[in-house]
Amino acid sequence: MEKNSLIPNEKAKRRKFGLHFTSIDMFYRYIFPEIKDFLENYLWVDLYAGEGNLILPILNEIPVDQRESFFHNHIYLFDVQKDMVQECIKNARKYGIPKETAERNIKLRDNLENFPQILKHQKYPIFHITNPPYLYLGYIRKHNETQKYLSYFESKNEGYQDLYQIAMINDLRNDVENLIYVIPTNFLYGASVSNKFRLDFLKHYKINKITIFETSMFKFTGTNICISFFKRKAISKDEPQTFEGLKFKDKNKFVKREYNLKPKYKYRAGSEFDEFIEENSNRNPLKVKYYLQKEEVLNNFGSFEIKVIDANKYENNQYRIQIIRVSDALKGKLMNNILYARTVDTGSIDGRAGLGFIKEHFGVDGIYVSGNTYRTHPIQIFLEPELTYEDQLLLRNFFNTILEYFREKLDSEFLTTYKYSKADYTRKYLGLTQVRGLIETFPHELKEENKEKLKSFIKTNEIEKIFKFIQLFKS
């Protein structure tokens, strides 16, 4: 957690360096119980130490007359910022460590650039505990003050997406056996941001335990974080991983969950949703297209007036309504495709991601995209073959029922966290690939009597009967 005496531009500074300092309380609550029985067995290292809050509190457990010797033999701390190194040295002195000893083992160094080889020549094996810098590559590219970090992602690091991934892969390449990392939860839940990294990293490391915080832990970022405990495998190989997780919804309330990560699904948490889609995709699925774009409207100009919202014009908490003039063919296409995808939770219970009727929610017949397409805007869905109103109603209810089932079962972990907020639940993003996949499980060629059965199962929320029905129809 952050210090209280912060200058006004401190948030920008933290963002620039990807820094979010860890509290001593976090160390004592979640990390120290896991290491307290073997303090004498390791070289305790933090390569991105900040003020030293993840290592220096160990000294409280060492008798005062033995602290200098313990620090000399068992602790090394580094940071890339000179002022943080000085702060860390000051904090070490508060534990009774002489200045000369503190300066010997607390160093100024850029460890993202390369790993400090001096650590490999010490008496004890390395145990790395750290809260590394995290800054997403997309952000780094867009801001002049962070573009100097682009060099970290070149050559053998090409394809990685965040600074914390560079830190962890450096440990992997230098055979560090034990790791405890405080990192963003996109390590577990992210798709494109983490797929390559998880595949590369979890081939070599096993997750022993993870503690997840779906609550704001740092003052200057809403990023949800997790404390991950890693052990290097004796033999590197791709294999499923099962481990226990604690998930905190707030700072005092948590749930226990068992996690099952599979290499087939790039070790992403919540892969049961992907497995469902893969196993239940219709043999002749609906074809799905997204967006009514400006080019299509211009190419199909005509005399028919259609009322739409412009997804690129959000003003005074609502989308701008306008009239577009289209051909008879495009009018028919719009009037016959009445569903849209809400990909982002609004924060209210009735505003969760899913399928909805355009007319019902916006009072218009279409969702027009006058500019760039954005995945977080409401997105009109075009189906082939076209469905009747009744069948689209059934599709909407089918889709939302199954989506909510998996959200409850998997605590929405197959979705991407959109942003931290004070909503009753953590807001999530539903990917367009996931929307397409779930629609493709819909049995759209049913006879009327079977449609009535499916409607009944959805109305009574008999999810197992819905799943059996899908399998029966598929076979």
The model's pLDDT over 239-259, given as tens digits with 9 standing for 90+, comes to 999 999 998 876 677 889 899
Q: Which regions of the chain carry the CATH code 3.40.50.150?
A: 10-270
Tell me the pLDDT tens digit for each residue of 104-155. 999 999 999 999 999 999 999 999 999 999 998 988 998 888 999 999 999 9
pLDDT at 224 over 90: no
Q: Which of 252, 178, 234 is nearest to 209 (CA)?
A: 178
How much is the pLDDT for 421? 54
For the entire predicted model, the pTM comes to 0.79
Total residue length of the chain: 475
Question: Torsion angle of alpha carbons 126, 56, 111, 218, nearest 10°?
Answer: 120
Residues with Cβ within 8 Å of 159's Cβ and at least 6 positions away in sequence, in order, are 196
pLDDT at 355 over 50: yes
- Return d(Cα 276, Cα 285) in angstroms, integer: 15
Alpha helix positions (H), 222-286: 272-280
Closest by Cα among 127, 191, 106, 203 to 431: 191
| pLDDT value of position 8 | 42
Average pLDDT, the chain: 90
| Bond preceding residue 385 cis, omega within 30 of 0 | yes
Residue keyed to tokens 């495998």: 233
pLDDT-derived band at 475, boundaries 50, 70, 90: low
Q: Which of 353, 358, 355 is nearest to 319 (CA)?
A: 358
| C-alpha separations of 154 from 4, 148, 158, 161 in Å | 37, 12, 5, 11
Q: What is the pLDDT of residue 473?
A: 82
Residue-wise pLDDT tens digits, 383-432: 999 999 999 999 999 999 999 999 999 988 888 776 655 556 678 889 99
Q: Which CATH class is domain 10-270?
A: alpha beta
